[in-house]
Amino acid sequence: MAFISTRAPKGDRYSLAEALRLGPAPDGGLFMPETVEPLDATFFEQLPGQSLTATGKAVLAGLLGGKISADVLGTNALDTDALDTSVLNRIVDDALDFPIPLIEAAPGRHVLELFHGPTLAFKDVGARFLARLLEATQPAGRKSTVLVATSGDTGGAVAQAFHGLDGIDVVVLYPRGKVSPLQERQFTTLGGNVRAFAVDGVFDDCQRLVKEAFADRELAEQLGLTSANSINVGRLLPQAIYYVYASAQLEAAAAAPIFVVPSGNFGNLTAGLLAHRLGLDAQFVAATNRNDVVPEYLISGRFEPRPSVRTLSNAMDVGHPNNFERILHLFNGDKEALCGVVAGHRVDDSVTRDTIARVCREHGYLLDPHTAVGWAAADARGLDQAIVLATAHPAKFGEVVEPAIGGEVPIPEQLLQHLDKTVLSQPLDTGFEAFRRVLTT
**DSSP alpha helices (H): ranges in 237-292?**
240-248, 267-277
Contact window for ligand PLP (CB under 6 A) among 91-99, 138-146, 176-184, 258-266: 258-266
Please give the C-alpha separations between residue 293 and each of 150, 274, 288, in angstroms, as whole numbers.
24, 21, 9
Which one of 316, 338, 342, 367 is in contact with ligand PLP (CB under 6 A)? 316
Which one of 121, 131, 225, 241 is in contact with ligand PLP (CB under 6 A)? 121
- Please report whether residue 116 would count as binding ligand PLP according to CB under 6 A: no
Concerning whether 396 is annotated as a catalytic residue, the answer is no
- Among the listed residues 10, 67, 123, 143, the single catalytic one is 123
Which one of 21, 277, 358, 370 is in contact with ligand PLP (CB under 6 A)? 370
Give the residue from 432, 435, 393 showing the smallest Cα distance to 416.
393
- Please report whether residue 128 would count as binding ligand PLP according to CB under 6 A: no
Instruction: Please state the closest distance from residue 265 (CB atom) to ligand PLP, in A.
Output: 3
Please give the C-alpha separations between residue 291 and each of 75, 304, 393, in angstroms, as whole numbers.
44, 11, 22
- Please report whether residue 418 would count as binding ligand PLP according to CB under 6 A: no
Give the residue from 338, 311, 340, 337 showing the smallest Cα distance to 324.
338
# of chain residues touching ligand PLP (CB under 6 A)? 15
- Please report whether residue 233 would count as binding ligand PLP according to CB under 6 A: no
- Please report whether residue 242 would count as binding ligand PLP according to CB under 6 A: no
CA separation for the pair 98, 136 (Å, rounded): 21
- Please report whether residue 266 would count as binding ligand PLP according to CB under 6 A: yes
Task: Provide CB contacts within 8 A for 289, sequence distance 6+.
Answer: 311, 312, 313, 316, 317, 346, 347, 348, 349, 352, 373
Instruction: Please state the closest distance from residue 103 (CB atom) to ligand PLP, in A.
Output: 17
Nearer to ligand PLP, 82 or 401 (CB): 401
Which one of 23, 62, 267, 272 is in contact with ligand PLP (CB under 6 A)? 267
Task: Provide CB contacts within 8 A for 195, sequence distance 6+.
Answer: 169, 170, 171, 172, 426
Do 370 and 262 touch, CB atoms closer than 8 A? yes
- Please report whether residue 268 would count as binding ligand PLP according to CB under 6 A: yes
- Please report whether residue 155 would count as binding ligand PLP according to CB under 6 A: no
CB atoms within 10 A of CB 336: 8
What per-residue string of b and e applies to 277-293 under the rule 16 or more CB within 10 Å gives b? Answer: bbbbebbbbbbbbbbbb
- Please report whether residue 190 would count as binding ligand PLP according to CB under 6 A: no
102-106/109-113 β-pairing: antiparallel
- Please report whether residue 260 would count as binding ligand PLP according to CB under 6 A: no
Nearer to ligand PLP, 80 or 268 (CB): 268
What per-residue string of b and e applies to 169-196 under the rule 16 or more CB within 10 Å gives b? Answer: bbbbbbbbebbeebbbbbbbbbeebbbb
Please give the C-alpha separations between residue 321 and each of 9, 284, 304, in angstroms, as whole numbers.
20, 17, 10
Task: Provide CB contacts within 8 A for 181, sequence distance 6+.
Answer: 419
E-assigned strands of 164-278? 168-175, 194-199, 225-227, 258-262
Which one of 113, 124, 153, 184 is in contact with ligand PLP (CB under 6 A)? 153
Instruction: Please state the closest distance from residue 85 (CB atom) to ligand PLP, in A.
Output: 28
- Please report whether residue 315 would count as binding ligand PLP according to CB under 6 A: yes
Nearer to ligand PLP, 121 or 343 (CB): 121
- Please report whether residue 355 would count as binding ligand PLP according to CB under 6 A: no
Task: Provide CB contacts within 8 A for 141, sequence distance 6+.
Answer: none
Nearer to ligand PLP, 43 or 243 (CB): 243
Instruction: Please state the closest distance from residue 117 (CB atom) to ligand PLP, in A.
Output: 12
- Please report whether residue 117 would count as binding ligand PLP according to CB under 6 A: no
Contact window for ligand PLP (CB under 6 A) among 83-91, 99-107, 264-272, 399-407: 264-272
Nearer to ligand PLP, 151 or 268 (CB): 268
Nearer to ligand PLP, 95 or 293 (CB): 293
- Please report whether residue 123 would count as binding ligand PLP according to CB under 6 A: yes
Residue 109 sits at φ, ψ, to 5 deg, of -110, 100
Task: Provide CB contacts within 8 A for 164, sequence distance 6+.
Answer: 192, 193
- Please report whether residue 109 would count as binding ligand PLP according to CB under 6 A: no
Contact window for ligand PLP (CB under 6 A) among 1-9, 183-191, 266-274, 347-355: 266-274
Task: Provide CB contacts within 8 A for 73, sequence distance 6+.
Answer: 46, 50, 54, 57, 58
Q: Which residues are catalytic?
A: 123
Binding residues vs ligand PLP (CB under 6 A): 121, 123, 153, 262-268, 315-316, 370, 391-392
